[in-house]
C-alpha cells in the first residue's frame, strides 16, 4: 500500500493538521517544536497493534473528544498485486484500489473504509470461513449418538483459527481418526462426517475469518496487507547505512562491524518499531 494523504486531530499538541498529501518521496519541513515529530508519531497509530492512550489526546479539546472523532486517518493506494489478492479471495466484490484506514478516540481497534464499494454485513453461511466451518462440525457432532459425542475432544473447533496449514491438517487428521474409531459401528455417522471432511479438509489456504463478507475482508486485509509505519527516533545517532539484520544482532549483544555509532541507540524504542 502507498500512503497518499493523511490527517491528524486531537493528538497531543495537534488540534487539526488538515489534509496532508504524500507523494512517492516526501520531506516534512518545519521549525523546531512545531509538531513535526508529533505528526509522524501519530501515523504509527495506524499500525494494527498500536494502542491510543488517553494521555496522548489533546487536553485542550475535551469538549470535542466527548464525541467520537478520527484521531488519525490515512488514504492508501493498493498495488495491482494487492488488488488481485483481494479479488481472488472475494470474487463478488468489485476491485478495491483505495482504502482509508483510521483510528478513533472511542474504538480501540483500527478501522477500514472502502468508499463507495458496497460490502455485505449480513451473516453469510456460504462463506468459506473458519467460523462457518467450525459451526458445521459442531452441528454435525450435536446430531450423533451421545455415547460417541461425549468422547470427542472439541477444543480445536472452539478456539481461534490455526496459524498454519500443518496445524490444521494435523488436528483434522486426529479428529477424523477419532471419529472413525468411535463410530466404527455407526455407518451413517461415518458417511455424514466424510461429507464435511472431504469438502473442507483441503480448503484451509482459502479459508477466511469472519461470519460476514465485510468482517472477513477486514480480517484478511489486517492479517495480510495492512501497512506498517516505522518511526526511527534515533536517526541522528547513526552514521552510514544500516543492515537491519545486523542491527538486530547488535541489539542482542552480537557485535557487527558495519554499523557505526555516534552514541548509544535508544534500543528499546527502536526494537519495538522494527519488530
Domain segments of the chain: what residues? 2-122+212-224, 130-206, 235-274
Instruction: Please state, in angstroms and rounded to a whole number, the distance separating the CA atoms of residues 74 and 263.
Output: 34
**pLDDT in the model for residue 236:** 45
Per-residue pLDDT of 83-121, as tens digits, reads 999 999 999 999 999 999 999 999 999 999 999 999 999
Instruction: Please state, in angstroms and rounded to a whole number, the distance separating the CA atoms of residues 241 and 251.
Output: 16
Per-residue pLDDT of 211-239, as tens digits, reads 999 999 999 999 999 999 887 665 444 44
Residue predicted with more confidence, 258 or 26: 26
205, pLDDT greater than 90: no
> Which secondary-structure segment (H or E) carries 130?
helix 130-143
Contacts of 198 (CB under 8 A, 6+ apart): none
3-state class (DSSP) for residue 18: coil
Q: Output the CATH code of domain 2-122+212-224.
A: 3.40.50
The x, y and z cell numbers of residue 72, run together, are 488519525
**pLDDT in the model for residue 204:** 82
Instruction: Note the pTM of the prediction, 2 decimals.
Output: 0.76
Give the confidence band of 24 by pLDDT, cuts at 50, 70, 90: confident
Amino acid at each position: 500500500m502507498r500512503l497518499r494523504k493523511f490527517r491528524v486531530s486531537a493528538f497531543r499538541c495537534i488540534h487539526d493538521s488538515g489534509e496532508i498529501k504524500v507523494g512517492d518521496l516526501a520531506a516534512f519541513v518545519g521549525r523546531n517544536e512545531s509538531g513535526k515529530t508529533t505528526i509522524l508519531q501519530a501515523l504509527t497509530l495506524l499500525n494494527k497493534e498500536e494502542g491510543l492512550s488517553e494521555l496522548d489526546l489533546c487536553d485542550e479539546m475535551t469538549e470535542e473528544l466527548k464525541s467520537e472523532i478520527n484521531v488519525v486517518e490515512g488514504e492508501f493506494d493498493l498495488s495491482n498485486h494487492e488488488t488481485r489478492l483481494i479479488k481472488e479471495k472475494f470474487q463478488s466484490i468489485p476491485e478495491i484500489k483505495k482504502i482509508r484506514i483510521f483510528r478513533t478516540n472511542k474504538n480501540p481497534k483500527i478501522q477500514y473504509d472502502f468508499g463507495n464499494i458496497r460490502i455485505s454485513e449480513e451473516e453469510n453461511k456460504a462463506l468459506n470461513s473458519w467460523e462457518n466451518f467450525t459451526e458445521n462440525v459442531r452441528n454435525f457432532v450435536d446430531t450423533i449418538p451421545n455415547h460417541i459425542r461425549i468422547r470427542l475432544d472439541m477444543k480445536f473447533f472452539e478456539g481461534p483459527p490455526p496459524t498454519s496449514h500443518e496445524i490444521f491438517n494435523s488436528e483434522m487428521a486426529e479428529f477424523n481418526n477419532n471419529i472413525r474409531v468411535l463410530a466404527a459401528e455407526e455407518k451413517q455417522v461415518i458417511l455424514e462426517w466424510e461429507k464435511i471432511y472431504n469438502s473442507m479438509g483441503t480448503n484451509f489456504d482459502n479459508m477466511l475469518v469472519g461470519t460476514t463478507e465485510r468482517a472477513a475482508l477486514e480480517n484478511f486485509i489486517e492479517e495480510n496487507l495492512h501497512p506498517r509505519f516505522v518511526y526511527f527516533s534515533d536517526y541522528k545517532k547513526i552514521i552510514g547505512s544500516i543492515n537491519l539484520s545486523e542491527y538486530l544482532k547488535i541489539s542482542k549483544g552480537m557485535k557487527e562491524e558495519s554499523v557505526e555509532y555516534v552514541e548509544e541507540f535508544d534500543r528499546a524504542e527502536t526494537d519495538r518499531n522494527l519488530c
